[in-house]
Amino acid sequence: MRHALINKDVLVVGFAMFAIFFGAGNLIFPPQIGLLAGDKWPIAMVALAIAGVGLPILAIVAVANAGSPERLFRPYARWFHPVFMATLLYTGSVAAIVPRTGATGYEAGVRVLLPDVDQAILKPVAIIGFFLIVLAFSIKKSKVVDRIGKYLTPALLILLLIVVVLALVNPIGTPTGGVDDPFYTAFTTSYQTGDVATGLITGAIFIAALAGRGYSTQKQRTLPLIGAAAIAFIGLMVIYGGLEYLGAQGSASFSADTDATVLLNSVVAELGGPPATAALAVAVLFATLTTAIGMATVIGEFTEELSRGKITYFWTILIITVIFIVQAMGGVSYIITFTTPFLLFFYPAMIITVILGLARKAIPNDGVWKGALIGASLLGLYDAAAFLSEEFAWSLPPNLVNVQQAIPLAAAGFGWIVPGIIGAVVGGLIWRFTGLPNSDDKRLSSNAPAT
């Protein structure tokens, strides 16, 4: 009976974990990764599996291992968690991820359904209308959208499974060409999903879900959590991997600079014709709408709590709605470019946090955490600056470039790894020989209940 109960819990929590990461706004990235990789799509798929699926799920496991998001970040500093999360939420969700849902809803939904309407008129009307709906439902905190989402997510999943099967049995082309660095390109493109941050933010949900099912200690949660993570990983890889392969099939027909939403619609059209394209457009439109409403609600509640009521939920929703509209009008490509330097800076820090969170019992002191964070973040800052220098045609100091290029793995795009390791060693030694206190000298007992 106990094994049956564990299996049931694994399925429920695993599908919930899958649903957290499965968003219509993210569907545009796997085909783009495949298109850029061309005949090197298997290498790119490995990178997608690590950065786009594995790390986000492991972020939840890291939170569960700590007991809560606050405890996970505590070795850095007690103030670090709210500051880091607020920064991620406002630079990521407010300025990019939620606006991208509206832009994707228009480009992959409304524009596809109404191709003959003047786009100069349709675009502002559709995007403003999209976010006015978000505003109305967010302010009311309506449960109607939640109920609709329960049907839309399975419908979109079934549709995409059909697309993946068709791509396997009736490929639209043979993968060809591709970038010289498919692994790095796929790895950093996967950053655009923002799902590692999602895992760090939502990890507490799954701790509470398992605790509510009787798994009150970390030891009791380990087995079902691993099983749930495996289910989510397999589900996401079937969809994302299939779409990545489909994008690779289009490498002979589409140029590397093809817009991500155009690519998604085009490859689906080649597979299933106008009916498939229309069905995908409707599903994406409503799925992005439900995602935007849910995220707007989270941002409103977080801001009200962070400001201790000085900025009310109502005014937060009004203000961020205006930001959503302005950003979404730039289009998906603009939003991706806008968010890239932020993601290049933040992602090494988030990856380091996940790794340390998974190995927290083996970490001797807080100096390891602080040193690793500083080392990785410095190179993340460099990568962000290098991206901006290319976008705005200005040069970084030659000496700085030479130092960065001398770092192992920098040529492959992962220059932050070695500084992170060195920072961890140096920080740990400083902490040990100076006797500086840890955030919790009891090392956060693994049996501590979630808070």
Quote the percentage of the chain above a pLDDT of 90. 48
Q: Report pLDDT for 67.
A: 84
Q: Report pLDDT for 306.
A: 87
* The model's pTM: 0.85
Topology adopted by domain 2-343: Amino acid/polyamine transporter I (1.20.1740)
Cα–Cα distance for residue pair 278/268, rounded to 1 Å: 10
As a whole number, mean pLDDT of residues 393-406 equals 91
Domain positions in the chain are 2-343, 363-444
Q: Which residues, 6 or more positions from 26, have their beta carbon under 8 angstroms from its beta carbon?
A: 193, 195
Question: Is residue 174's pLDDT more than 80?
Answer: yes
As a whole number, mean pLDDT of residues 259-286 equals 87
Cα–Cα distance for residue pair 302/228, rounded to 1 Å: 27
Other C-beta atoms closer than 10 Å to the C-beta of 75 total 27
In terms of C-beta density within 10 A (0-12 exposed, 13-18 middle, 19 or more buried), how is residue 298 classed?
Answer: middle
Tokens standing for residue 147: 């109920």
Cα–Cα distance for residue pair 142/156, rounded to 1 Å: 22
Coil, helix or strand at residue 211 = helix
Q: Specify the range with the lowest mean pLDDT, choosing from 204-218, 317-331, 388-402.
A: 204-218
Q: Report pLDDT for 6.
A: 53
Cα–Cα distance for residue pair 401/379, rounded to 1 Å: 11
Quote the percentage of the chain above a pLDDT of 70. 92
Q: Report pLDDT for 288.
A: 86
Question: Is residue 115's pLDDT more than 80?
Answer: yes
Question: Is residue 181's pLDDT more than 70?
Answer: yes
Cα–Cα distance for residue pair 147/138, rounded to 1 Å: 14
Closest CA to 289 of 89, 135, 158: 135
Q: Report pLDDT for 214.
A: 79
> Residue 364, Cα to own-chain centre: how many angstroms?
30
Tokens standing for residue 79: 């103030």
Cα–Cα distance for residue pair 133/257, rounded to 1 Å: 32
Give the CB-side neighbour count of residue 232, counting CA atoms within 13 A: 31
Closest CA to 104 of 320, 286, 294, 300: 286
pLDDT band at 7 (very low <50, low <70, confident <90, very high): low
449: left (phi over 0), alpha (psi -120 to 50) or beta: beta
Cα–Cα distance for residue pair 262/333, rounded to 1 Å: 11
Q: Report pLDDT for 3.
A: 43
Q: Report pLDDT for 141.
A: 67
Each residue's pLDDT tens digit, 205-262: 888 888 887 777 777 777 888 888 888 899 899 999 999 999 999 998 899 889 888 8
Cα–Cα distance for residue pair 423/373, rounded to 1 Å: 7
Cα–Cα distance for residue pair 283/236, rounded to 1 Å: 18
Each residue's pLDDT tens digit, 26-43: 888 999 999 999 999 999
Question: Is residue 448's pLDDT more than 70?
Answer: no
Cα–Cα distance for residue pair 209/221, rounded to 1 Å: 10
For residues 332 and 106, is the Cβ–Cβ distance under 8 A? no
As a whole number, mean pLDDT of residues 100-104 equals 92
Q: Which residues, 6 or more positions from 334, have their beta carbon under 8 angstroms from its beta carbon?
A: none
Tokens standing for residue 249: 């099939």
Closest CA to 346 of 86, 58, 149: 86
